[in-house]
Chain A
Amino acid sequence: MNAQRKQRLTLVLVIVLGASVAVGLTAYALSQNINLFYSPSEIYMGEAPKDTRIRAGGMVVEGSIRRDPTSLRVEFDITDYAHATTVEYTGILPDLFREGQGIVAQGMLAADGRLIASEVLAKHDENYMPPEVAEALAKAGKMPPMPEAAKGY
């Protein structure tokens, strides 16, 4: 093997080694940081794990928002119209959060089945429903008729 070939071989080996380390790290990081989505019905059935971060979504139940009078803690129920889950959150809710709106909360399930949320997402538009929520509602057979205007977006 001449010097130049040897050099090329080293280069290729370094690249292959680097790439496999990268792939390994990626796979590891990915497996650590995936958040699965569960509907209120699935949480009710006990299908959702208790000790990892999950996402849950549904429609905010009318009249269910309860605020702590001295802090920013707030509790509300989300539903797929079959079952409901209580979400607890401390902080500022997004602009588009309101009763009857579809939202997604990210957090951990407490032992009593409440979701302690670290993040509440209500994005985009007043007629918008997060796709996960729409699917959860459809699964529960409770898809409400979409308002006419929503089709434009």
Chain B
Amino acid sequence: MIPELGTFSTILALCLALILSVVPMVGAYTGNKLWVDYARPLSKGVFFFLSIAMVCLGYAFLTNDFSVVYVANGSNTALPWFFKISAIWGGHEGSLLLWVWIQAVWTLAVAVKSRNLPLDIIGRVLSVMGMITAAFLLFILFTSSPFDRFLPGYPMEGADLNPLLQDFGLIVHPPTLYMGYVGLSVAFSFAIAALLSGRLDAAWARWSRPWTNVAWAFLTLGIGLGSWWAYYELGWGGWWFWDPVENASLMPWLVATALIHSLAVTEKRGVFKSWTVLLAISAFCLSLLGTFLVRSGVLTSVHAFATDPERGLFILGMLIFVIGGSLLLYAIRAGSVKSESTFSLSSRESLLLVNNILLTVSCAMVLIGTLYPLVMDALNLGKISVGPPYFNALFVPIMSLMIVFMGIAAVSRWKHTEPSYLVKQLWLPAVIAILAGVITSYAYSGVLEFWVTLGLTLAYWIVFSWIRDYFNRARNRDSLWGAVTKQSRSYYGMLLAHLGVAVLVVGVAMVSIFVEHRDARMQAGDQLEFRDYTFIFDGVRKVQGPNYTSDMGRIRVLYKGEPYRIMYPEKRMYTARGMSMTEVALDPGLFRDLYIAMGEELDGGAWAIRLQYKPFVRWLWLGALLMTAGGILSASDKRYRRQNNRAAAAA
């Protein structure tokens, strides 16, 4: 009964979404205010019915309703309750429902939070969002309903959730990442609405900026969480694999990063307008492409659930429709867009343009590396794979270059900045950054590793050039403290996010170059030493978990000969699927992680054991957290609300 209620409310949500995608849009064209006014209640209705559907699916999981195919495939009576909840998005059907529910959340948020936008704009924006919702709901209902039943007979026990996904990471990673992916649909809808209405101005950029910032922040957090999850759950100790599925999330992130910078220029200076619109369209199209790659079965990985060609065709069709349609609209309308001001070659505008070019170029490179094997395969030219060296060889130089420009942009001014002024401002930070980079690099390792020195120098460069800028701002104030409180929230948001980049760069450089790992064959009593640490293997004992049995190793760790701590890596056997899983033992720290994973049991009671020393690995995720905080802080800037109030007063 409950699953049928779920299907029923999904269908109701589809009906409302279809009305939402037509009525307010027509109303906005004909000037029928009543029709446009329908947009907000309809958005609320879609959200309401999709929430009911989510609750129904959750209920089916919690009550072990194995007559539902999706529940039987992804759950088990022995599964702890919190994993039953997260199992809602543990498979293809449910994760699509989550996708569309989050789309409804964003639609609701736009409907509620934008009281002060012109009515025709809000009607168009919500209509476009309704179209996206409707398309995904059609997809769910026709090809992948999570509420389908096994009839007449059904299994007494479920097949269990994939053990890889039975983890805290799965509870938080997909919803956060989807918040980011789907949040880009807001920027997309604003762009389409602006193109349709022909009102592509600074006000449009100001409306869509906070939404884009928040979506970008979620996307950053989601990617960070995914990397963190892969680090401790896959048992390899890697944090980024250039796996096509990771690339699928990185591409929209790169373009969204370009978009938030280009929106800033559009809002402040009224230039780059059509470029900004193109970025907004591309960002969302890339997040759809990501969905297609992950969900259609063209890729195989932990994320690829579906291998049903019908599903792939549906998403491909949708992709072609969205990309084709929006680019066509863009081609028709963008030509009439006029810039509101000019700028010289040496100006903040130009530097942000450089940022945009570098980001889109790197996105294009990731796209080529990801799609090339698929194209080759489709043309029957052989099965190939593109390895991480390709991505590293291109990505690292481009990003290094971008950070150099990031520092220059920090002190530059809008419209025109004399190059001599830049040199005067920046020679000191540059010298200090290089010196500090060389000194810290040498002090840490005793040798000058090129990439580490470069990474540290770049990180210092970001920090010192911003300090320079800060002093410039403080000079016009009475006191340094006065300058601290006078800057806007969005300024501090930017500072925080750029600091996050610096922290991330340090993490990447240090962990990539100075990681140390040993794979060893260890018997009880064996010991291994490296990096001031001694690892003593005490043997393995059996442990019984709720839905698994485990071989738990015990490893004593000594630091410089003194007892430091005991670590318990595990090898778990999940009984329902007969699948074994490595559970890593971690000793996290700000400057280094100790990472122990158990391989398989060898002859004579010995075990294969992987020991790793990972310097600064936490800085990767710390950097992502700082960027997230920065994005949210700048979206909460007063001026967006003030602007809204002013608009309301004018109306």
Q: In the complex the two chains form, is B384's CB within 8 Å of A36's CB?
A: yes
A92 touches B390 (CB 8 A): no
Tell whether, in the assembled complex, residue A67 and residue B162 are in contact, meaning their CB atoms are under 8 Å apart: no
Judge whether B581 and A124 touch: CB under 8 Å: no
> CB-CB < 8 A to A124: which residues of B?
300-302
- Contact among A4, A91, A95, A132 for B581, CB-based, below 8 A: A95
The closest CB in chain B to the CB of A55 belongs to B385
Q: Check A93/B600 contact, CB under 8 A, given A22-B365, A36-B384, A126-B578.
A: yes
B603–A67 CB distance below 8 A: yes
**Which A residues are in CB contact (< 8 Å) with B577?**
126
**In contact, A67 and B159 (Cβ under 8 angstroms):** no
Q: Whole-angstrom distance between the alpha carbons of A55 and B600 in the complex?
A: 24
A8 closest partner in B (C-beta):
B345
Q: Is B531 an interface residue when CB atoms closer than 8 A count as contact?
A: no
**Size range of the chain A interface in the assembly:** 35 or more
A81 interface contact, C-beta 8 A: no
Q: Which residue of A lies closest to B342 (CB)?
A: A4
B 549-579 binary contact with A (CB < 8 Å = 1; else 0): 0000000000000000000000000000111
* Distance, CA A69 to CA B69, complexed state (A): 46
Taken together as a complex, chains A and B put the C-alpha atoms of A4 and B73 apart, in Å, by 64
Bound-complex Cα distance A126 to B384 (A): 24
Residues 106-125 of A, flagged 1 when their CB comes within 8 A of B and 0 if not, give: 00000000000000000111
Residues of chain B within 8 A of A15, CB atoms compared? 357
Query: Is the pair A10, B300 in contact by a Cβ cutoff of 8 Å?
Result: no
Proximity bits, A11-34, B CB within 8 Å = 1, else 0: 100010011001001100110111
Is B85 at the interface (CB under 8 A from chain A)? no
Q: What CA separation (Å) do A135 and B382 show in the bound complex? A: 11
B383 at the interface (CB under 8 A from A): yes
- Provide the residues of chain B in CB contact with A130, threshold 8 Å: 300
Nearest A residue to B302 via CB reads A124
- List, in ascending order, chain B residues with CB within 8 A of A4's CB: 342
Partner of B579, one of A25, A34, A97, A126: A126
In the complex, the chain B residue whose C-beta lies closest to that of A39 is B383
Asked if B644 is at the interface of the complex by the 8 Å CB criterion, the answer is no
A68-90 vs B, CB cutoff 8 Å, 1 = contact: the mask equals 01111000000000000000001
The verdict on B320 contacting chain A, using a C-beta distance below 8 Å, is: no
How far, in angstroms, from A30 to B386 measured CA to CA in the complex? Answer: 7
B519 touches A35 (CB 8 A): no
Quick check: A153 and B519 within 8 Å, CB to CB? no
In B582-604, which residues have CB < 8 Å from any A CB? 582, 597, 599-600, 602-604
**A152 contacts the other chain (CB 8 A):** yes
- In angstroms, Cα B73 to Cα A108, docked, is 39
Residues of A within 8 A of B390 (CB): 29-30, 32-33
**CB atoms of A18 and B357 under 8 A apart:** yes
Chain A residues within 8 Å of B603, by CB:
67, 69
In the assembled complex, which residues on chain A have CB atoms less than 8 Å from the CB atom of B600?
92-93, 97
With both beta carbons as reference points, the residue of chain B lying nearest to A21 in the complex is identified as: B361
Tell me, yes or no, whether B328 is within 8 Å of chain A by CB: no
Instruction: Give the distance in Å from the alpha carbon of A126 to the alpha carbon of B600 in the complex.
Output: 16
In the complex, A149 has a CB within 8 A of chain B: yes
- CB-based contact A67/B602 at 8 Å: yes
Query: Which applies to chain A's interface (DSSP): helix, strand, loop or mixed?
Result: mixed
B324 contacts chain A at the CB level, 8 A cutoff:
no
Provide the bound-state CA to CA distance between A130 and B344, in Å. 54
> How far is the CB of B316 from the nearest CB of chain A, in Å?
18
Which parts of B323-362 form the interface with A (CB within 8 Å)?
A: 342, 344-345, 350, 353, 357, 361
| A26/B368 in contact, CB under 8 A | yes
Q: What A residues does B368 contact at CB under 8 A?
A: 26, 30
A37 to B554 alpha-carbon distance, docked (Å) = 40
**B582 surroundings in chain A (CB, below 8 A):** 95
505-534 of chain B: CB within 8 A of chain A: 519-521
**In the complex, B428 has a CB within 8 A of chain A:** no
Q: Which residues of A contact B382 (CB under 8 A)?
A: 36-37
Chain B: minimal CB distance from A79 (Å)? 18
CB neighbours (8 Å) of A135 from chain B are: 383
Known contacts A72-B519, A123-B301; A96/B579 CB under 8 A? yes
Pick the residue among A22, A36, A132 that contacts B361 (CB under 8 A).
A22
Which residues of chain B from 348 to 403 have any CB-CB distance to chain A below 8 Å in the complex?
350, 353, 357, 361, 364-365, 368-369, 372, 382-387, 389-390, 393-394, 398
A7 within 8 A of B: yes
Is B648 located at the chain interface by the 8 A CB criterion?
no
Return A88 CB to nearest CB of chain B, in Å: 15
Residue of A53, A91, A149, A153 ringed by the most chain B CB atoms within 10 A: A153
Q: Is the CB of A36 within 8 A of B383?
A: yes
Question: A90 contacts which chain B residues (CB < 8 A)?
Answer: 519
A34 to B600, CA, bound (A): 31
Check A30–B345 contact: CB distance below 8 A: no
| Minimal Cβ-Cβ distance residue in A for B388 | A33
Q: A37-B382, A72-B608, A126-B578 are in contact. Are A7 and B519 (CB under 8 A)?
A: no
- Does the CB pair B300–A26 fall under 8 Å? no
With both beta carbons as reference points, the residue of chain B lying nearest to A150 in the complex is identified as B307
CB-CB under 8 A from A70, the residues of chain B are: 521
> Could you tell me if B393 and A33 are in contact, using CB atoms closer than 8 angstroms?
yes
Nearest residue, chain A, Cβ from B298? A131
B18 shortest CB reach to chain A, Å: 31
**Which of chain B's residues have a CB closer than 8 A to the CB of A7?**
344-345
- Cβ B602 vs Cβ A26 within 8 A: no
Q: Is the CB of B369 within 8 A of A35?
A: no
- Whether B45 sits at the interface, judged by CB under 8 Å, is no
Least Cβ distance of B244 to chain A in Å?
A: 13
Q: Shortest CB–CB separation between residue A119 and chain B, in angstroms?
A: 10
Contact for A18 among B69, B302, B361, B519, CB less than 8 A: B361
The smallest C-beta distance from A43 to any residue of chain B, in angstroms, reads 14
Of the residues A11, A96, A153, contact of B350 by C-beta under 8 Å? A11
B580 at the interface (CB under 8 A from A): yes
Chain B residues 15 to 74 lying within 8 A of chain A, measured CB to CB, are 69, 73
Q: How far is the CA of A92 from the CA of B597 in the complex (A)?
A: 10
Cα A116 to Cα B520 in complex, Å, equals 19
Query: If A95-B581, A130-B300 touch, does A37 touch B519 (CB 8 Å cutoff)?
Result: no
Inter-subunit contact B372/A30 (CB<8 Å): yes
Query: Which among A10, A25, A128 has the greatest number of chain B C-beta atoms within 10 A?
Result: A25
Within A45-74, the residues touching B (CB, 8 Å) are 53, 55, 67, 69-72
With both beta carbons as reference points, the residue of chain B lying nearest to A149 in the complex is identified as B159
For the complex of A and B, the 10 pairs showing the least CB-CB separation, nearest first, are A92-B599, A33-B390, A37-B383, A29-B393, A33-B389, A91-B519, A22-B361, A92-B608, A33-B387, A29-B390
Of the A-B pairs whose beta carbons lie under 8 Å apart in the complex, a sample of 24, sorted by A's number, is A7-B344, A7-B345, A10-B345, A19-B357, A22-B361, A25-B393, A29-B393, A30-B386, A32-B390, A33-B389, A33-B390, A34-B385, A35-B387, A36-B382, A37-B382, A53-B387, A72-B599, A92-B600, A95-B582, A123-B300, A123-B302, A126-B579, A152-B73, A153-B305
A-B contacts besides A34-B385, A96-B579, A97-B600, 6 pairs, CB < 8 Å: A22-B364, A22-B365, A35-B384, A96-B580, A123-B301, A126-B578
